[in-house]
Amino acid sequence: MKVILLGTAAGGGCPQWNCACRLCTAGLPPRTQDCVAVSADGAGWYLLNCSPDIRAQILSTPALRAGPGPREIPVRGVLLTDAELDHSMGLLMLREAGRLPVFAPDAVSDALSPFRAIVDGYGGWTALTDFPGLAVSSLPVSDKRPKYVSATGPGPWVVAYRITDLSTGGSLVYAPCLASWPAGFDDFVAGASLVLLDGTFYAPDEMAGVGGPDQLAMGHLPITASLSRLAGRPGRWAFTHLNNTNPVLDPASPEHAAVLSAGGLLPVDGTTFEF
């Protein structure tokens, strides 16, 4: 399995356009909004979430560019973890694909029906049901709905994915939004080659400096609550979906060092894994 981290930042990216916090003005390498591409053969690719930055992410990734035919594209479909705009708005950017297959929990698909109504004018999207060379399973991890959703129907509203290469046995767990360390998650990640964890915030009071709400209320388990669970676990553990306020963005920070000391990774945009 080939895995490319197209973007590793939370909503708004880093630097964020409306923010002048220390990290957004520090001149750090920019990060685009979280999105991952996976492939069993290096030819057909699936996107995990579809960020508003997807056009730039595709064009900066040779494996995802169109060709060899004039309108041939290697993207075979999109899997959504939730209906948050920073995870799904890229579907509008890919409207020219025409009937692009999309896989999502029912509640997420229903919430995105206005998107579908727009995209239908360009060919719409279909249900993604086939993953050649890959096995896909999901685990509900949160019931947090996006702010724009008024529906009160049953979820799940947020899932994590486990994707396994049927040839090599290598597996990826993608969990960019964890409100907690949910029941069944230990079994879900057991034996995974790579786990991409929610790294939105480092500490539970991080947003206080910019007048933001409590991190747990935003549906994101802070890194400090996850680090102790990494000790002694096999495989690679990486934090993604980093908010622009997260001090781990600064490689010189003690928080960055603490993650690495605990055995975690903090990969940048464009990082590639293969297993």
Instruction: Report the distance separating Cα 222 and Cα 185, nearest Å.
Output: 16
Q: What is the pLDDT of residue 124?
A: 83
Instruction: Report the distance separating Cα 160 and Cα 241, nearest Å.
Output: 13
Q: What is the pLDDT of residue 97?
A: 87
Q: What global pTM score does this model have?
A: 0.95
Instruction: Report the distance separating Cα 241 and Cα 32, nearest Å.
Output: 9
pLDDT digits (tens, 9 = 90+) for 17-42: 999 999 999 999 999 999 999 999 99
Neighbour tally for 26: CB within 10 Å: 12
Q: What is the pLDDT of residue 214?
A: 58
Q: Which CATH superfamily is domain 2-274 in?
A: Ribonuclease Z/Hydroxyacylglutathione hydrolase-like (3.60.15.10)
Find the range with the poorest average confidence among 32-46, 47-61, 100-114, 149-163. 149-163
pLDDT digits (tens, 9 = 90+) for 102-119: 999 999 999 999 988 998
Nearest alpha carbon to residue 79 among 42, 108, 40: 108
Q: What is the pLDDT of residue 215?
A: 55
* DSSP string over 3-65: EEEEE-B-TT-BS-TT---TTTTTTPPPBPBPEEEEESSSSSEEEES--TTHHHHHHT-GGGS
Interval 138-151 mean pLDDT: 91
- Work out whether strand 171-175 and strand 158-165 pair parallel, antiparallel, or are unpaired: antiparallel
Helix, strand, coil percentages in the chain from 3-state DSSP, rounded to 5: 25, 25, 50
